[in-house]
Amino acid sequence: MSELRQNFFTKEWVIIATERAKRPEEMASRRPERNAAAFVPTCPFCPGNEDKTPPEVLRIPAGGGHDPWQVRVIPNKFAALSRDVQPGRTIHRTRRTIQGFGVHDVIVETPSHSLSIAHMPDSEVANILRCYRARHQELSLDPRIEHITIFKNHGVDAGTSLEHPHSQLVASPVISYQVRQRVHEALRHYDEYGECITCQNIEEELEDKVRIVMATEHFVALELFASYSPFCTHIYPRRHMASFGDISAAEINDLARTLRTVLAKLHTGLNDPDYNFTIRSAPAECVGVKYFHWYLSVIPRLTRVAGFELGSGMFINTVLPEAAAEFLRNVKVEAAVAVGV
């Protein structure tokens, strides 16, 4: 019997299609192995080619090894939005436009062309997260910025165009309809029950245990009860925080370990699938609110969105979230992680 489940946060409905349910291991990616070299002379993000990118806005300098730097943050050469215009609005009857103001950063995660987060030492993952936090905090202070999205596209099916490991940040002068909607729903729940809906959900999931992938001192990684797609894994801070910019130093180290472990489990268990991850943080105007709780969402790209999803706004998931969680809990990764590369 299939089951319709409602997402506690977005209120969207998902069909968990157990009739055509697949065993988690059947979902493993079938793409050929990625075998990039550690250094590619023509790659603009490889060391030695720093002059091929716009000037850095932030750098974590070398840690004593041979590499000239550890992480670089640069403006995207092909930015979706531009920091050089003012966000003036025009409204003409039903047509509304804003000049394309915004900030579009690229975070070059490592000097190595082939080292993905799943295989980095935790300390290097923490450096990337520190760059996210620094940029998030700085851009949140700009009164023209309403919302900041941090994301990573890993692999062609996840929309990446450049192989060298990197993530991106887009700061926009508007709050999207989807984010507005979620903020409203969270506020409505807070008004009604006097609690953060996500804090409540984390508590319930820790009691239920069946959808937990891993829990650490500061974070919980789990499969959503109404997960839109197979192995979509959310990582929540246990401490209530509306904005990612409020993450502490200890929490950064813990998130680095949690994120790296989740990505390594996906890599090992599902044959290095393409994936996106994104940090969903409160809009700038909601920093510090009691009702919104930021989280990081990892979305493996194992299935495609098709006509039904586009037409109905509902999703069909063919892997039981409880089975996905059990599968990921059992993938052993410590041995697969290279330390001190």
Active site residues: 166
- The whole-angstrom separation of Cα 2 and Cα 216 is 33
In the complex with Zn ion, the residue whose CB is nearer, 119 or 293, is 293
**For residue 164, with 0-12 CB atoms within 10 Å meaning exposed, 13-18 middle and 19 or more buried, which class applies?**
buried
Q: Which residue's CB is nearer to Zn ion, number 5 or number 238? A: 238
Query: Does residue 116 belong to the site contacting Zn ion (CB under 5 A)?
Result: no
Q: Which is nearer to Zn ion, 74 or 320 (CB)?
A: 74
Question: What is the contact mask toward Zn ion in residues 229 to 268, using x (rule: CB under 5 A)?
Answer: -----------x----------------------------
Question: Which amino acid is residue 23, in one-letter code?
Answer: R
Going residue by residue from 46 to 85, which x/- string records binding to Zn ion, judged by CB under 5 A? x---------------------------------------
Q: Which is nearer to Zn ion, 224 or 324 (CB)?
A: 224
Q: Is 198 a residue that touches Zn ion (CB under 5 A)?
A: yes
**What single letter denotes the amino acid at residue 329?**
R
The DSSP letter of residue 107 is: E
Size of the site for Zn ion (CB under 5 A): 11
d(CA 242, CA 219): 15
What secondary structure letter does DSSP report for 72? E
For the stretch 292-326, what's the b/e string if a residue is b when 16 or more beta carbons lie within 10 angstroms of its beta carbon? bbbbbbbbbbbbeeeeeeeeeeebbbbbbbbbbbb
The stretch among 36-44, 87-95, 219-227, 308-316 that binds Zn ion (CB under 5 A) is 36-44
The amino acid occupying position 337 is: V
* CA-based radius of gyration for the chain: 20
Question: Which range binds Zn ion by CB under 5 A, 15-23, 192-200, 254-262, 326-334?
Answer: 192-200
In angstroms, what is the minimal distance from the CB of 330 to Zn ion?
29
Positions that interact with Zn ion (CB under 5 A): 40, 43, 45-46, 113, 164, 196, 198-199, 240, 293
